[in-house]
Amino acid sequence: MKNNQESELYQRLMLLVDKYGNRKVSRFATIIGVPSNTFGSYLSKEGQKKIKYSLLLRILEKFPEINEEWLLLGKGPMLKNENTVKEESEPYQASQTEITSELSSEFLAQAHLVEVVTKKLKEANAPDEVIQQAILAIVAPDVKCKKTEDKKIEQNKNCA
C-alpha cells in the first residue's frame, strides 16, 4: 500500500483496527458494536463488497475524528485534524464499559458451555465428581485436579 489514498476499503478498516483496536480485530469490533466474526469477514478484497454503509456510519459515529472522505472514498488524511496529530498516535484505550462488554460475552459463552456439559453429564448419570471435574476443566483449563480421600476436588500443588 503506497499511501492511505490508494488503499482498498478493507485496508483502511485494517488501519483503523491497528489504531483503535490495538491491532486486534475482535477488540475493534467490540468497540463499534459488531460481532467480531462478522467484522472479520469484511477484511479482504472480496469481503469488502459485503460492507454496508451503516457499518461505516457506525465507525464515524464512534470515532468522529475520522475523515469521512478518507473512510468512504480513500481520499485525504485519515483524521480530520491529521496535520495537528502526531504520525504515531497512542492506540485507542477501551473504556471500562467496552472491556466489561467483551469480558461479559466471554463469560456468558463459558457459562453456557458449563450449563450444556452439566446437563449432558447428568443425563448420562455421571457422578457429581465427574461433573465437577468437567466444570473445572472448562473454567480453569490449566488447573490439574486430583482426587483426595474425602472425594473432593483439590488443586494439584504442581499447578501454577
Reduced to 3 states, what is the DSSP secondary structure of residue 146? Answer: strand
Dihedral sign from CA coordinates of 73, 74, 75, 77: positive
- Tens digits of residue pLDDT in 148-158: 444 444 444 44
The pLDDT value given to residue 84: 47
| Spatial contact of 47 and 10, defined as CB atoms under 8 Å apart | yes
> Distance (Å, rounded) from C-alpha 47 to C-alpha 56?
14
Query: Would you say the pTM of this structure is higher than 0.75?
Result: no
Name the β-bridge partners of 145. Answer: 155
pLDDT in 10s for each residue of the chain, 160 residues: 334 444 689 999 999 999 999 999 999 999 999 999 999 999 888 888 888 888 999 999 999 999 999 998 888 899 988 654 444 455 556 666 666 665 565 666 677 677 877 888 888 898 988 888 877 777 766 555 555 444 444 444 444 3
Give ∠ CA 141-97-20 in degrees, rounded to 5: 90
